Amino acid sequence: MPGMINRQEMPEQPPEIRKHNFEEVALGFDDQTAKIEAERCLNCKNAKCIAGCPVGTNIPLFIDLIKKGRTAEAFREIKKNNRLPGICGRVCPQEEQCEKLCVRNNPKAGGAVSIGALERYAADFAAKNLENGLENDEKFAAFGGDCVKNIGKNKNFLYSDGDSTKNIAQKAETDGKISLADENEKNSVKKRTFKAAVAGAGPAGLTVAGELAANGISVTVFEAFHKAGGVLVYGIPEFRLPKALVQSEIDALKRLGVKIETNVVIGKTLLLEDLSSEFDAVFIGTGAGLPVFLNIAGENLNGVYSANEFLTRVNLMKAYEPDAKTPVFVGKNVAVVGAGNVAMDAARTALRLGANVTVVYRRGREEMPARREEIRHAEEEGINFMFLTAPVEITGGNGRVSGMKCIKMILDAPDERGRRKPVPVPDSELMIECDGVIVALGTSPNPIIKNSTDTVKFNPKGTIVVDETFMTSKDGVYAAGDAVTGAATVILAMGNGKAAARAIIERLNKMK
């Protein structure tokens, strides 16, 4: 029985080495390990893992293809449901989703199948093998190789989605040649090309753009930054998600016909109304907005950053490079306030920039919202943790941070939601010596679109109101991602984006 083999773990850069560089921490499976891990999948008839995936990836099917050594096909299978497999294989919280529901998810069965690592393996395989000269192999291209690298030869062959993919694949196998003109015809929603606008080139927007473009819709994505990618480029650090990978996924979308207009803020440069009048459908995926601060004294001293600003300076503006033009101040001793994934990213980034880092969190280790893997990585790299500690004041001298005054906390009895409220312990003040503070307490919604339109309804908290099809209160305008949910995960934004795209396609089909 294959069940006796334990879950294969991904090799990683050793902590002592990786804490000094920005290269990827997790190194990915080699072919042999991938195969061993794929063999562990029991190919359940009623595969619960699929239900755990926000984009509904057919997990047992793609793992079975890896098992059989048909990794290119495995990649193609993933790509049917997921526009950005290389990214999701890295940043999805699989342990809370697919892997959590895996029947092997208990020590007796050797632990859940490493679904995320296998997804990443398939995506990396596709990228690597195309570089090795497979780009002209049309049969390979039929399985999605075109998404990674331009096959260049056949203009008609762009991308096809859904059920027809199977036919194409079969066709490719039988006659070895592909002409997709007829398939594209079938797939396109209408004779005339519909136009859709997408506000925001982050995970939600890029997913929507890919889905729509694959269905013959002409898509223009508007991005406020000078670079597409949203949180994938400004937020998540290089050592967790290489930017070259993000760029290759974006390039693939461009080859699909997606136009990306950078330097356009919807609500300022163009209004939502401009988009509604020029496009047949509009999607808003503008992400999360203003960082939440502690509202304590000293928070505006120099040396106090929001995690957003710190990470943007380092990731997007490349402040870690010696000749970078955008400066970033990294103290010798940095306190990071908060314990989510963004806090871990900020802490590990500051560490790599030479700081001694302490994460300060008002609850305990068990309550940390970050992924276990991120916490483990941070601990291995030598990040200090101070639990049950809450900042009360940031102290300074000469306008700069000199320390952070904190108070010890104790957890109350669980409330009806099971959450234990931290309460201060009297007379337990303590002082943390630090010259840098990074506040990672989440974000509140961006106000720009809200302030520039009356047609779309917002919740009191500032997120966009949508119905079950992700349509806003304005007909034909859809929204998903953090702009709707508040700060959440990449995969949730993609999952909801995908559902919104389906609704848009359905709507346009009716307009035929």
Which pair of tokens denotes residue 381? 């790299």
Q: Does 455 bind another protein (CB under 8 A)?
A: no
Interface with another protein includes 448 (CB under 8 A)? yes
Binding mask 232-251 for another protein (x = CB under 8 A): --x-----------------
* Three-state secondary-structure class, residue 411: strand
Cβ 237 to another protein shortest distance, Å: 16
3-class secondary structure, 66: helix
Part of the chain binding another protein (CB under 8 A), chosen from 111-119, 155-163, 285-293, 373-381: 285-293
Give the nearer residue to another protein in terms of CB position, either 89 or 287.
287
| 474 CB neighbour count, 10 Å cutoff | 18
293 scored as a contact of another protein (CB under 8 A): yes
Distances (CA, A) of 178 to 214, 255, 509: 17, 18, 26
Q: Contact between 447 and another protein (CB under 8 A)?
A: yes
Is 294 or 508 the residue whose CB approaches another protein more closely?
294
Query: Would you list the DSSP string of 56-108?
Result: ---HHHHHHHHHTT-HHHHHHHHHHH-S-HHHHHHHS-GGGTHHHH-TT-SGG
Residues recorded for the chain: 512
> Would you count residue 290 as binding another protein (CB under 8 A)?
yes
Q: Does 273 bind another protein (CB under 8 A)?
A: no
264 binds another protein (CB under 8 A): yes
Q: Which residue has the tokens 């997990």?
A: 59
Q: Does the footprint of another protein cover residue 397 (CB under 8 A)?
A: no
> Rule CB under 8 A: is residue 300 a binding residue for another protein?
yes
The answer to the question of residue 320 lying near another protein (CB under 8 A) is no
Does 226 contact another protein by CB under 8 A? yes
Binding segment toward another protein, per CB under 8 A, in 90-98, 111-119, 322-330, 406-414: 322-330
- The answer to the question of residue 309 lying near another protein (CB under 8 A) is yes
Interface segment toward another protein; rule CB under 8 A; list 177-185, 237-245, 289-297, 465-473? 289-297
Cα 383 off chain centre by: 24
Element (H, E) at 83: none
Decide if 222 contacts 494 (C-beta within 8 A). no
State which H helix or E strand residue 333 sits in.
strand 333-337
Q: Is 299 in the site for another protein (CB under 8 A)?
A: yes
Judged by CB under 8 A, the stretch of 73-81, 100-108, 292-300, 481-489 that binds another protein is 292-300
CA distance to 83, 380, 384, 407, per residue, from 18 (Å):
29, 10, 17, 33
Give me the residues paired with residue 334 across strands: 357, 436
Among 22, 75, 305, 470, binds another protein (CB under 8 A): 305
Helix, strand, coil percent content, the chain, rounded in steps of 5: 40, 20, 40
Choose between 246 and 256: whose C-beta lies nearer to another protein. 246
Q: How far is the CB of 411 from another protein (least distance, A)?
A: 29
Q: Is 184 in the site for another protein (CB under 8 A)?
A: no
At 298 the three-state DSSP class reads coil
CA pair distance 342, 324, nearest whole angstrom: 23
Question: In the chain, what's the furthest Cα-to-Cα distance?
Answer: 79
The tokens describing 110, both together, are 């050797």
Residue 277 found at the interface with another protein (CB under 8 A): no
Told to check if 262 binds another protein by CB under 8 A, we report yes
Which SS3 state, helix, strand or coil, does residue 382 take?
coil
The piece of 88-96, 308-316, 379-387, 418-426 that touches another protein (CB under 8 A) is: 308-316
- Point out which span in 19-27, 44-52, 170-178, 326-334 binds another protein (CB under 8 A): 326-334
Q: Is 326 in the site for another protein (CB under 8 A)?
A: yes
> Which of 145, 203, 237, 289 is in the footprint of another protein by CB under 8 A?
289
Please report, as residue ranges, which positions from 206 to 225 form the binding site for another protein (by CB under 8 A). 224-225
Distance CA 477, CA 500 (A): 10
DSSP string, 165-234: HHHHHHHHHHHS----HHHHHHHSS-SSPPEEEEE--SHHHHHHHHHHHHTT-EEEEE-SSSSS-THHHH
Q: Which is nearer to another protein, 304 or 359 (CB)?
A: 304
State yes or no: residue 295 binds another protein (CB under 8 A): yes
The verdict on 331 binding another protein (CB under 8 A) reads: no
Report the alpha-carbon angle 260-266-267, nearest 5. Answer: 170
3-state secondary structure of 360: strand
Residues engaged in binding another protein (CB under 8 A): 224-226, 234, 262-265, 268-271, 287-291, 293, 295, 299-302, 305-306, 308-309, 312-313, 317-318, 324-327, 329, 399, 446-448, 451
